[in-house]
Amino acid sequence: MSTLSYETRKASGVERIIPYNHKLAPFFIRDRLFSLIPEGTEHIYVVGIGSNKINGDSLGPFVGTLLEGLYTNHITVSGTLKYPLDAATLKSELAQISLPDKSFVVAIDSVLGTEQTLNSIMVRDEALRPGAGLGNNLPLVGDCSVMGVVLKNVPTETRSLFLTDLHLIYTMATTIAKGISLTVRQYFNYPSNQPLLLLS
């Protein structure tokens, strides 16, 4: 769980605030991610950050679960609902990941944002600082980040993380996972009839 201030959004050059339930949202995510992947990339690592015990912090593990087992020649997933990367496990798990050359890391996390960004998805060309929204000091993750804004960034809202609507989280996770799947399918030239997700 991170935070996303207006200043951060402006400085990071985010081009689009994507409504999580927009019918074209997966394609917007694909377009943004595709523009960020360096030429010559041979493998994409998806790092889903968050907890499987807190509704509002489960976005990353949901995305990881939806992508697990998909396009295995070109995607590796860390952080799922079964094996989450949360504050207790993130540092040790990241230390065990060995990234070969020509890899690109996409970090996924839920974030606290503003009224204007609530219930939206944002993609930015920089690493993610997980745990900032909950006061944790964790290492930066990713070459780029995909964030779902699940609550407003006000102190009283953080207590609502446990009660965040799981339908919102699941729908947002499905949208992000489809966007990543579309990106991989296009970047690595998979046939267009390949399934976007193994679960949906």
Domain with 96, as residue range(s), is 2-187
Domain presence at residue 127: yes
Give me the tens of pLDDT residue by residue for the chain, a chain 200 residues long.
Answer: 665 543 344 434 444 789 999 999 999 999 999 999 999 999 999 999 999 999 999 999 999 999 999 999 999 999 999 999 987 888 788 878 778 889 999 999 999 888 889 999 999 999 988 866 566 667 889 999 999 999 887 766 566 778 788 999 999 999 999 999 999 999 999 998 888 897 65
Q: How far is CA 139 from CA 30, 86, 87, 95, in A?
A: 26, 12, 10, 11
Bridge partners of 135, per DSSP, are none
Rounded CA gap, 41 and 138, in Å?
Answer: 26
Residues 6+ apart with CB under 8 A from 50: 1, 57, 58, 59, 60, 61, 79, 84, 85, 86, 109, 110, 130
Are residues 116 and 17 in contact, defined by beta-carbon separation less than 8 angstroms?
A: yes
> Residue 176 falls within a domain, yes or no?
yes
CATH number, domain with residue 122:
3.40.50.1450
pTM (2 d.p.): 0.89
Is position 88 within any domain?
yes
Q: Is residue 15 part of a domain?
A: yes
CA distance 53 to 69: 23
**What token pair was written down for 109?**
């996390």
How many domains does the chain divide into?
1
In whole angstroms, what is the distance from residue 46 CA to residue 183 CA?
12
The answer as to whether 83 is a domain residue is yes
Judge whether 195 lies within some domain: no
Report if residue 57 sits inside a domain.
yes
Cβ contacts of residue 124 below 8 Å, gap of 6+?
9, 12, 13, 14, 144, 145, 147
Whole-angstrom distance between the N-terminal and C-terminal Cα of the chain? Answer: 24
Q: Are 78 and 63 in contact (CB under 8 A)?
A: no
Domain for residue 47, yes or no?
A: yes
